[in-house]
């Protein structure tokens, strides 16, 4: 089982030009292999809205509001939430 299973998307991705065909990365050093690597899967996206760093708002969330926000993210389908 993959650790990051992706769901198919109805987004019409055929309309968009592949970033690798629009940008050329010059290889200055033959020892570097990362410029030639290509992403094949989307990265894991984890919401970080409940971290204390995000509490530098004019009105920081109280624990009850954080709990409601957490439950809303769970209901949306997030499997991992950074707190």
Q: What is the pLDDT of residues 11-60, one digit of tens each?
A: 887 788 777 777 776 666 667 677 677 777 777 778 887 777 666 677 78
As a whole number of angstroms, the distance between CA 13 and CA 77 comes to 23
Task: Name the band, by pLDDT with cuts 50, 70 and 90, for residue 71.
Answer: very high
Residue 80 neighbours by CB distance under 10 Å: 9
Query: Cα angle at 77 between 52 and 48, to 5 degrees?
Result: 15
Annotated domain spans of the chain: 43-83
């Amino acid at each position: 089982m993959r650790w990051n299973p992706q769901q198919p998307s109805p987004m019409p991705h055929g309309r968009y030009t592949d970033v690798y065909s629009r940008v050329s990365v010059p290889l200055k050093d033959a020892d570097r292999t990362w410029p030639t690597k290509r992403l094949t899967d989307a990265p894991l996206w984890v919401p970080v809205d409940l971290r204390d760093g995000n509490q530098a708002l004019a009105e920081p969330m109280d624990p009850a509001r954080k709990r409601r926000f957490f439950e809303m993210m769970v209901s949306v389908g997030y499997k991992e939430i950074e707190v």
